Amino acid sequence: MYAYIVRRLLLAVPVLIGVSILVFSIVRFIPGDPARVIAGVQAPQSAVERVRREMLLDEPLHTQYFVYMGNLLQGDMGRSAFTRRPVAVELYERFPNTLILTVAALGIATVLGMSAGIISATKRYSLFDNFVMLLALAGIAIPVFWLGLMLQLLFSVNLGWLPSSGMDTWRHLILPALTLGLATTALIARITRSSMLDVLGQDYINTARAKGLVERIVVYKHALKNALIPVVTVMGLQFGILLGGAVLTESVFSWPGVGRLLVDSILARDYPVVQGAVLVLALFFVLINLVVDIIYALLDPRITYGTQEGD
**pLDDT given at position 303:** 57
Query: Residues 221, 282: one domain?
Result: yes
Question: Domain range spanning residue 126?
Answer: 93-310
Please tell me the predicted confidence (pLDDT) of residue 235. 83
Q: Looking at residue 86, what DSSP letter applies?
A: B
- Sequence letter at residue 60: P
Residues 52 and 160 occupy one common structural domain: no
Q: Is the domain of 72 the same as that of 112?
A: no
Residues 193 and 245 in one domain: yes
Residues 164 and 196 in one domain: yes
Domain assignment of residue 13, yes or no:
no
Of 76, 107, 129, the residue that ends a domain is 76
Is residue 296 included in any domain, yes or no?
yes
- Shared domain for 60 and 165, answered yes or no, is no
Are both 55 and 146 inside the same structural domain?
no
Q: Are 151 and 186 in the same domain?
A: yes
Judge if 149 and 271 occupy the same domain: yes
What is the DSSP secondary-structure string of 57-74? TTS-HHHHHHHHHHHHHT
Instruction: Please tell me the predicted confidence (pLDDT) of residue 61.
Output: 80
The vertex-74 CA angle with 13 and 21, nearest 5°, equals: 45
Contact 148, 249 (CB under 8 A): yes
Per-residue pLDDT of the chain (311 residues; tens, 9 = 90+): 677 677 777 877 888 888 888 888 887 777 767 777 777 767 787 887 887 787 777 778 888 888 888 888 888 888 887 788 888 888 888 888 988 999 999 999 889 888 888 888 888 888 888 888 888 878 778 888 888 889 888 888 888 888 888 888 888 889 999 888 887 888 888 888 888 888 887 777 777 778 777 777 778 777 777 788 788 878 877 887 787 767 888 888 888 888 888 888 888 778 888 888 888 888 888 888 777 777 766 666 555 555 444 44
Q: Is residue 169 part of a domain?
A: yes
Residue 119 belongs to domain with CATH number: 1.10.3720.10
Q: Could you tell me which of 98, 150, 100 has the C-alpha nearest to residue 257? A: 98
In a domain, 113, yes or no: yes
What pLDDT score was predicted for residue 20? Answer: 84
Are 97 and 253 spatial neighbours (Cβ–Cβ below 8 Å)? Answer: no
The reply to whether 127 and 190 lie within a common domain is yes
On whether residue 231 sits in a domain, the answer given is yes
Q: Is residue 5 part of a domain?
A: no
Residues 41 and 100 in one domain: no
- Residue 141 is assigned to a structural domain of this protein: yes
Q: What is the pLDDT of residue 309?
A: 43
**220 and 146 fall within a common domain:** yes
Last residue of a domain, one of 45, 76, 107: 76
**If we measure between CA atoms, which residue out of 31, 34, 33, 21 comes closest to residue 64?**
21
Number of structural domains (the chain) is 2
Residue 245 within any structural domain of the chain? yes
H helix intervals, the chain: 2-27, 34-39, 45-54, 61-73, 87-122, 127-141, 144-151, 171-200, 203-210, 215-217, 224-252, 258-267, 271-299, 305-310
Rounded Cα distance between 151 and 159, Å, is 10
Confidence (pLDDT) at 240: 78
Closest by CA position to 268, among listed 29, 49, 36, 95? 36
